[in-house]
Amino acid sequence: MNSIPFRSLLFLLLTACVLGGCMRLAHRPPAKTSYVLSAPRPAKAPSAVGSAILQVVPMRISPRFNGRSFVYRQSPSQYQTDFYHDFLVAPANLVQEEVVHWLSDSGLFASVSSSAGPLPPDFLLQGRITELYGDYSSKSPSARLAISFMLLDRHTTDHPVRLQQDYHSDVPLAGHETEALVEAWNAGLTDILNRLEEDLGNTMLTIDATSNRGG
């Protein structure tokens, strides 16, 4: 019985390996895609009418959602991170930037910034993101976003809290693509900032009324 030459056997094995998909080193891994959060104002607000200066201090975020990778909730106790889809920069920085832009166009304050300017701020706005994930734990996936805000008055030494409110948004996803999740987060952030602006407006009216009575 004739034996197959060693070189012929090696050639046959390599050919079978290639055809069987064993050599996949040439296949490129999926590319990473980075996203930002945005909350465009639906309509142009009136020019600034407030006289107070507001500083939005650096946003904080729960350690569970502090990374740049997207987080998905698979069940009440199971969460998963996505290596290939993430935020361009830290999500707390993205949200803070949108808060500053939104309130700058609100007309509630003479000036809104994320850092101390030449004039000391009259109020400090603190924020903490408590939830930021895609919720796939049910048959109706949604984008979950929750932020807590606190407004501090710097006119007195004890810096009293003028507003403290938690905001939650749970927006259903329009599709299964990652872009649908980001669009839902953006819609949720827009909704939260709308409600924050309304609450801040009522708070500033109360403060102005109190100041006028005191004067």
Which is nearest to 106 in space by CA: 198, 169, 24?
198
Six-digit token string for 159: 């810096």
Q: Across all residues in the chain, what is the average pLDDT? A: 87
User: Given this model, what pLDDT does residue 214 score?
Assistant: 52
User: Given this model, what pLDDT does residue 207 score?
Assistant: 86
Per-residue pLDDT band for 19 (boundaries 50, 70, 90) equals very low
User: Given this model, what pLDDT does residue 17 score?
Assistant: 46
User: Given this model, what pLDDT does residue 132 score?
Assistant: 98
Six-digit token string for 112: 């809104």
**Dihedral pair phi/psi, residue 3, rounded to 5°:** -95, 150
Per-residue pLDDT band for 156 (boundaries 50, 70, 90) equals confident
Per-residue pLDDT band for 159 (boundaries 50, 70, 90) equals confident
What mean pLDDT is predicted for residues 58-67?
96
Instruction: Give tens-digit pLDDT for 124-151.
Output: 999 999 999 999 999 999 999 999 999 9
- In the chain the domains, ranked by start, together with CATH numbers, are 56-214 (3.40.50.10610)
pLDDT at 9 over 70: no
CA 4 vs CA 1, 39, 71, 119, 195: distances in Å: 10, 70, 55, 88, 79
| pLDDT > 90 in the chain, percent | 69
Per-residue pLDDT band for 47 (boundaries 50, 70, 90) equals low
Helix, strand, coil abundance in the chain, percent, nearest 5: 30, 30, 40
User: Given this model, what pLDDT does residue 34 score?
Assistant: 97
